[in-house]
Amino acid sequence: MNRFASFTRWLALCLLSGSVLAASPDGVVAVSHPAAAAAGARLLAAGGNAIDAAAAVQFALNVVEPQSSGIGGGGFMLIHLAKTGETFIVDSRERAPAKASADMFAPDGLPMEFPLASTSGLAVGVPGTLRGIDTALRRWGRKNLADTLEPAIELAERGFRVNRFLAADIANDHGRTRIHPETAAIFRPGGVPLAEGDWLVQPDLAKTLKRIAAKGPDAFYRGPLARAIVKAQQRTRSELGEAGQGRMTLADLAQYQVAIREPLIGHYRGWTLAGMPPPSSGGLTLLQMLKLLERFPLGDATQGYGFGSPQTLHAMIETMRLAFADRAVWIGDDDAAPVPRQGLLHPGYLATRAALIQTDRRMDTPQAGDPLPWESAAAVQPKPSRTKRDSPHTTHFSIVDRWGNVVSTTSTIEFTWGSGITVPGYGFLLNNELTDFNFMPAADAVQGNPGANDVAPGKRPRSSMAPTLLFKDGKPVAAYGSPGGATIINSVLNVTLNLIDHGMSMQQAIAAPRLSVTHAAGKVNCEGGQDFMQPRFGVAAQDALRRLGHVGLGGVGTDGCQDMIGSVQAVFIDLATGEQRGAADPRREGTVIRVKSPKATME
């Protein structure tokens, strides 16, 4: 049987996409797309571990979810090794090129318009995904890079059917698949956008992946492909002129290095969480919100709390407002500027922030607090500055293998379709990750402001990605995360509260409606428009929030919870039985596959 025929057997397992629950002692994958889930399951069934499966999933996602992630971007892989008990992060976040400068998005003292800047080469950061995967495979995998690329090569070479999510992202692309001819040729052949059910073949991408399989990651970071990347990111929008040209060089690509980081560790009601440290704001902001909310009896309906009650929702909203005010000021790449991690999570500082939350009214727009008195390391007071819009895209997947190794990965090319620039002849999109930096420089020597998230050579832009591991008594219980720009943090928070405070199963915790606030000003976004989102946030509860002064919910007596927030994919382990399960988010084409060597089955 040839490779493609073999792989189609795996894809057949996924025809009932949207599977939500599976159990197995031999491994489980939970991914936003069935074909990518099948790629990961294939590696597990062939004797690979969770790291191998994660590599296969990531490469396959480059083919079937190109608008969200791929080798032209970066991400964070959170890994727990069962044998040693180690938990760590492979940080493959994009870096600013050596010629980057703090004012490059505001060359005339005014910030560029985001749609123009984000679709120019200036927005492209040095990609890290491939180097990160290769590092993880060489150090902790059981398979080689070529093995993990096989499913993606077959998908790109033979093609797959466009699902409704990809079709919708092409149709509603705000011009991003139309600006550059190579991108339009793939996703709008003959000027006609691909529709659901169309067959998409990507021969240039297949050729690129084959080259990498044969020659390793240096085939990407050096040589003809590297030269093509550099040339591609020199493109700009005519309105920006030379100011919009990318600044990446061959030296930037050749010198790219991943970082292996220790996770942030926090505690909530007897549970332990491991999450992302800077340059992501995800872990710090999540842990800060949990510690603020620990003061409220969120799961106790007898005290007026419980899921969806006005008191619970009010506490969540005010906590989000406080934490995001701090996030806007304090968090950046602390390899470049110190971030007061200890101060932001210190009980003394948190007490001052929690005191601002009143149970009977909405607080005025909060400012960032001052955690420095609780910080042992030296840090200086920064200030907020203007940044870009958040994207609902990115992708997350979670995997556990037969040995108990766990991977929780979030990866991205930033905004939907990234920069919109496809590398000519190579078939993959380049990120626009540098727009995660401040557009207006915040550094101020007089005020002692280091510009925590200002652009600087080699610096990583602040992220919201929050791959998370949940532990009980030192043992991993669950791995989960989400896409969604700044809402990532709140999606992970919602799921964590649902599990711990509201006693939901993982699938219930994922399907339940979510609430999100990502700015101190406090505009509320919430869900409820889909039948699977249960139990709903009732109109009476929303009216109670309106009376407290909360904004964004519409008029009195109406259902203002009609948004769609995130896409959480999770695996979890029953500590009593060792049983492994998975849960996938119906907000996308979430798929769980359970592996029973040498075959995989799906529920």
Q: What is the pLDDT of residues 456-514, one digit of tens each?
A: 999 999 999 999 999 999 999 999 999 988 999 999 999 999 999 999 999 999 999 99
pLDDT in tens, 285-340: 999 999 999 999 999 999 999 999 999 999 999 999 999 999 988 888 888 778 99
Provide mean pLDDT across the span 115-133. Answer: 97
Say how many domains are in the chain.
1
Q: What integer best gives the mean pLDDT of the chain?
A: 91
- Distance, in Å, from the CA atom of 350 to the CA atom of 344, rounded to the nearest integer, reads 7
pLDDT given for residue 19 in this prediction: 41
Q: Which residue has the higher pLDDT, 14 or 323?
A: 323
What are the start-end ranges of the H helices in 46-189?
50-64, 114-117, 129-140, 145-158, 164-171, 181-187
Look at residue 562 and tell me if it is in a domain.
Answer: no
CB atoms under 10 Å from CB of 505, counted, come to: 14
Residue 542 lies in a domain: no
In a domain, 492, yes or no: no
Active site amino acids: 394
Q: Which residues of 368-381 are buried (b: 16+ CB within 10 A; e: fewer)?
A: bbbbeebbeeebee
All residues at 6 or more sequence positions from 73 whose CB lies less than 8 Å from its CB, including other chains: 94, 127, 128, 129, 411, 412, 413, 414, 418, 431, 433
Q: What SS3 class is residue 406?
A: strand
Domain assignment present for 472: no
Beta pairing partners, 273: 266, 470
* Banded pLDDT at 261 (limits 50, 70, 90): very high
- How distant is the alpha carbon of residue 339 from its chain centre? 21
Percent of the chain with pLDDT over 90: 82
Residue 550 lies in a domain: no
Helix 50-64 and helix 145-158, axial crossing angle in degrees, nearest 10:
20
Q: Is residue 118 part of a domain?
A: yes
Q: Which of 380, 375, 379 is nearest to 344 (CA)?
A: 375
On whether residue 153 sits in a domain, the answer given is yes
Name the band, by pLDDT with cuts 50, 70 and 90, for residue 385.
very low
Query: Is 129 inside a domain boundary?
Result: yes
Contacts 24+ apart (CB under 8 A), 13-18: 13/38, 13/41, 13/593, 13/600, 13/601, 13/602, 14/38, 14/591, 14/593, 14/602, 16/602, 17/163, 17/589, 17/590, 17/591, 18/584, 18/586, 18/589, 18/590, 18/591
197-219 core/surface letters (b: 16 or more CB in 10 A; e: else): ebebebebbbbbbbbbbeebbeb
Lowest mean pLDDT among 13-17, 26-30, 33-37: 13-17
Start-to-end Cα distance in the chain: 26
Q: Which domain holds residue 118?
A: 3-73+101-258+396-432+582-601
What percent of the chain is predicted at pLDDT more than 70? 91
How large is the average pLDDT for residues 138-147? 98
Q: 589 pLDDT band (50/70/90 cuts)?
A: confident
Which pLDDT tens digit goes with each residue over 538-557?
Answer: 999 999 999 999 999 999 99
Give the separation between CA 159 and CA 155, rounded to whole angstroms: 5
